[in-house]
Structure 1
Amino acid sequence: MTRAINRRVVTLVAITMAALPAMGQTAPSSLAASAEQRLPALTETYKHFHRNPELSHHEEKTSALFAGELRKLGYTVTERVGKYPDGSQAYGVVAMLQNGTGPRLLIRTDMDALPVVEQTGLDYASIVRSTNAQGQDVGVMHACGHDIHMTVMLGVAREMMERKSQWHGALMLIGQPSEETIDGARAMLADGLYERFGRPDFVLAEHDDSVHAAGNVAFKSGPMLASSTSIDVTMRGVGAHGSAPQLSKDPVLMAAEFVVLAQSIVARQIDPQQPAVLTVGMIHGGAKRNIIPDEVAMGLTLRTYSDKVRDQIIIDVRRTAEGIATGYGVPQDRMPVVTVSRTEIAPVESNDPALTERMRKVAIGALGADHVDAADSVMGSEDVGLFSLDGKIPAMMFRLGAADPVKLARAIETGVPLPAQHSSLFAPAYAPTIKTGVTAMTAMALDLLKE
């Protein structure tokens, strides 16, 4: 009788052990189930972030909340990591978890919002207003999904803390400020990020989008995001009364001509097989209707996949501005001022091929092949690539689907796209997006830290 009972116990233990994941591995269903269980709490966090956005360089409360949540989980957290060229301190957050010896993995999220007035009509919509760098009163909205990114990061942080028996090494979680002005990553590196916290062996990041269904992720090896360069162009003239334009050299008219003519730079001066986008996104000039001002300032962004094309377009921008001014008879001492930013610049974001393929297979194991898509290269830009130190550290960013699958299918059928990032109507399907992000990123982190 005793032997029979012992045999049953041994058999039961064997069956139970066979059903459990091996040490260093996690059953995909257990990760998804865990993320599902944590979803109510993560939803509250997400909605708080969404209701309380802060602009680039001003992420004080956002970073404090993010850092506080990581401290509660047991991470060693350092705040205000990052230094801008003017000497001001950035609101970067670094959370470390050392778990024995092994690889060092950096996972990055961004924290800043955009100067956009939200028009989604959601019950948790932002009504925040702030003052931008130009002194304008603006609405503020998480119109790019950084609230999703931070929420996913906190979910991954909890999973990794509770699964310490399944990995070893160092986990380095980065809350990066000022991604929208593409100077936050550079600020953190300038503040000795790797000298202070160690150089990682891998860098991971994700970004939500409205072209993939919530519940899916997407991968692309090699270049995925374009470089970005910020350019300021100031058309200078001679002011006068609005009733006597003949006494002026009108910078408003010159700026208007520049905006139109600048579009011909990419259309007619750049090889059409070389992708490039030149956008005039900001124009400021004048203080009263009947006064022709002395100058008009414009803010441009330039995106390319080639440094050669980038440099060529910058030359063309200068020549176009100066040519317009010359045509209007502007004296030499009032020629346009073209300034290329030294801080609001980002390189091409290129995914390490080997790391990307490895993480794609991990995602298939965690989510299923039907939920892993191929991503396209786009002209959007990111500064996350700076953390790879020009490709010296294997790095990879994947796309996190955030679109309601039914609405996305309808959009594809009708040809009318869903509101995308930077739109006042951008509204991710947050529940499946957060769950998928936590599941996929945790699976990837466990895989990289099992070595």
Structure 2
Amino acid sequence: MTLKDCADAVLAGLGDLRSELEDVYKDLHAHPELGHQEHRTATRVGEWLRSCGCQVHEGIGGTGVVGVLANGEGPTVLLRADMDALPVLEDTGLPYAATAEATDAAGRRVPVAHACGHDMHVTCLLGAARLMAAAPAAWQGTLLALFQPAEEPGDGADRMLADRLTERVPRPDVAFAQHVLPYPAGQVGTHAGSFLSAADNLKITVYGRGAHGSAPQAAIDPVVIASMIVVRLQTIVSRELAATQPVVVTVGSVQAGASGNVIPESAELLVNIRTYDEHTRSAVLAAVRRIVRAECDASGATRAPRIEEGTRFPPTVNDDAVTREVSAAFAEMFAQRAVAGELQSASEDFSRIPDAFGTPYTYWALGCVDPAVHEAARRRGTVAQDIPVNHSPRFAPVLQPTLDTGVQALVTAALTRLGNTTAPRQGAR
């Protein structure tokens, strides 16, 4: 059997499974859960995996689930899907739109929605596991279906690893993951080397001297200090780095004071930095610290600024050889729908899992926008304005062909290592 024969044998059952998978997706979409709260999702995942004949490990790192599907001697392949949703009020108009609320880690009551597409990732992996289980003659080895909690806060992979993930399941020879992105649905985009950025989050507090709003001469205004920092930080990218060096520095929050006629004592900034290599990361972080200290000194701040490091996401750097292998398989499976993925400034914690195993990996983009809608926006030159992106209240993958393509991509990638290419074609079932 060729790789294509193996894939055709496994995917032959997709037509019969499609309706059930679509129902699963709609149910998950309508019942989103925040990171570390994915109890309902994890329960559904565990039940599904058991029905596939998997050995199921549940509660890893809190709500993580891994299904181990063993099918004789051979390599071990890990497929990963993230499960958590976002504190976003959905505005898609879908008949299965989420109306859920939850209490977040800070104790606030927030709306919840699958505004990043993790529900699609879960459904695709459930479909791939079911189809692989139903076609054992087409492959050999071990499939690990890993469902990770809390990708959004960035600590879900770490918690699974801290809970002895590497001791509980076989070491994979290769690991794969995918993410819906605003490409035309039906496309899969691969990219060797750096694909997703590293991300550093900083909390910066600057200190002044409070006073009445009518007497600024008696104050050292931390709002002004913060404002100067916001402006000056933009020069890191525009004036300290080469134009060819991809870096993003974003100040996402500035908090100070509570009244228009009171100059506060302090101001707080939340800063997000995206880089693709350790040298650039170190240089940008050093520049941020230098600028913050200098602006405080220039304004006569009453004390040194406080700079606290928050969550850090690692870079996603796809293995060259593995990516070439998967890209070739996708080209055979999807023809012109297999495209070159673009460098992404988003970040992920997936790579921590294969890195902990010492396993090479590749991570690809899964298109999820109605192709006709995307093409119309492209012709108008308004893709950025008209196509909702991940984390938008209006973001939701078009159900098909996104779902079918995601299942096909996971199966095809897994079979690059697990495919029973020595068996006769008629032996598949």
How high is the TM-score relative to the length of structure 2? Answer: 0.90
Measured after TM superposition, the shift of residue 61 of structure 1 is 2.5
CA–CA distance in structure 1, aligned partners of residues 103 and 228 of structure 2: 29
CA–CA distance in structure 2, aligned partners of residues 160 and 240 of structure 1: 68
Q: Which residue of 1 aligns with 2:417?
A: 448
Q: Which residue of 2 aligns with 1:85?
A: none
Q: Is the 8 A contact 2:172 2:357 kept in 1?
A: no
Equivalent residue for 1:66, pick from 17, 42, 45: 45
Q: Which residue of 1 aligns with 2:286?
A: 315
**2:58 is equivalent to residue 92 of structure 1:** no
Matches within 5 A, 1:324-363: 324-331=295-302, 334-341=303-310, 344-363=311-330
CA–CA distance in structure 1, aligned partners of residues 132 and 170 of structure 2: 19
Measured after TM superposition, the shift of residue 198 of structure 1 is 2.4
Q: Which residue of 2 aligns with 1:294?
A: 265
- Where 2:63 maps in the other structure, the secondary structure is strand
Q: What are structure 1's unaligned runs of at least 5 residues?
A: 1-21, 83-89
Measured after TM superposition, the shift of residue 139 of structure 1 is 2.6
Q: Which residue of 1 aligns with 2:390?
A: 421
The 1:376–1:390 alpha-carbon spacing in structure 2 relative to 1, beyond 3 Å, is farther
Equivalent residue for 1:147, pick from 114, 119, 125: 119
Could you give the per-residue CA deviations for residues 359-417 of structure 1, whole angstroms, max 9, x where no partner exists? Answer: 122223333x1221111112111111222328942201111111111011111101111
Q: Which residue of 2 aligns with 1:5?
A: none
- Where 2:351 maps in the other structure, the secondary structure is helix
- Where 1:432 maps in the other structure, the secondary structure is helix
For residue 96 of structure 2, what is the amino acid of its counterpart? Y
For residue 333 of structure 2, what is the amino acid of its counterpart? A
The 1:284–1:95 alpha-carbon spacing in structure 2 relative to 1, beyond 3 Å, is farther
- Where 1:398 maps in the other structure, the secondary structure is strand
Measured after TM superposition, the shift of residue 65 of structure 1 is 2.4
Equivalent residue for 1:382, pick from 321, 344, 348: 348
Count matched residues: 417
- Where 2:343 maps in the other structure, the secondary structure is coil
The 1:62–1:72 alpha-carbon spacing in structure 2 relative to 1, beyond 3 Å, is same
CA–CA distance in structure 2, aligned partners of residues 354 and 26 of structure 1: 22
Equivalent residue for 1:166, pick from 132, 138, 157: 138
Q: Is the 8 A contact 1:143 1:426 kept in 2?
A: yes
The structure showing larger relative contact order (alpha-carbon pairs under 8 Å, at least 6 residues apart) is 2
CA–CA distance in structure 2, aligned partners of residues 408 and 32 of structure 1: 27
- Where 1:389 maps in the other structure, the secondary structure is helix
The 1:284–1:126 alpha-carbon spacing in structure 2 relative to 1, beyond 3 Å, is farther
Could you give the per-residue CA deviations for residues 136-176 of structure 1, whole angstroms, max 9, x where no partner exists? Answer: 44332211111110010110110111112222222111111
How high is the TM-score relative to the length of structure 1? Answer: 0.86
Q: Is the 8 A contact 1:130 1:139 kept in 2?
A: yes
The 1:120–1:329 alpha-carbon spacing in structure 2 relative to 1, beyond 3 Å, is same
Q: Which residue of 2 aligns with 1:285?
A: 256
- Where 1:442 maps in the other structure, the secondary structure is helix
Q: What are structure 2's unaligned runs of at least 5 residues?
A: 421-429
Q: Percent identity?
A: 38
Measured after TM superposition, the shift of residue 356 of structure 1 is 1.3
Q: Which moved more, 1:403-412 or 1:352-361?
A: 352-361
Measured after TM superposition, the shift of residue 288 of structure 1 is 4.5
**2:151 is equivalent to residue 179 of structure 1:** yes
The 1:166–1:194 alpha-carbon spacing in structure 2 relative to 1, beyond 3 Å, is same
Q: Is the 8 A contact 2:6 2:139 kept in 1?
A: no
Measured after TM superposition, the shift of residue 36 of structure 1 is 3.1
Equivalent residue for 2:331, pick from 316, 340, 364: 364
Q: Is the 8 A contact 1:103 1:201 kept in 2?
A: yes
Could you give the per-residue CA deviations for residues 15-44 of structure 1, whole angstroms, max 9, x where no partner exists? Answer: xxxxxxx49874655555532332211111
Measured after TM superposition, the shift of residue 289 of structure 1 is 4.6
For residue 72 of structure 1, what is the amino acid of its counterpart? S
CA–CA distance in structure 2, aligned partners of residues 267 and 62 of structure 1: 44
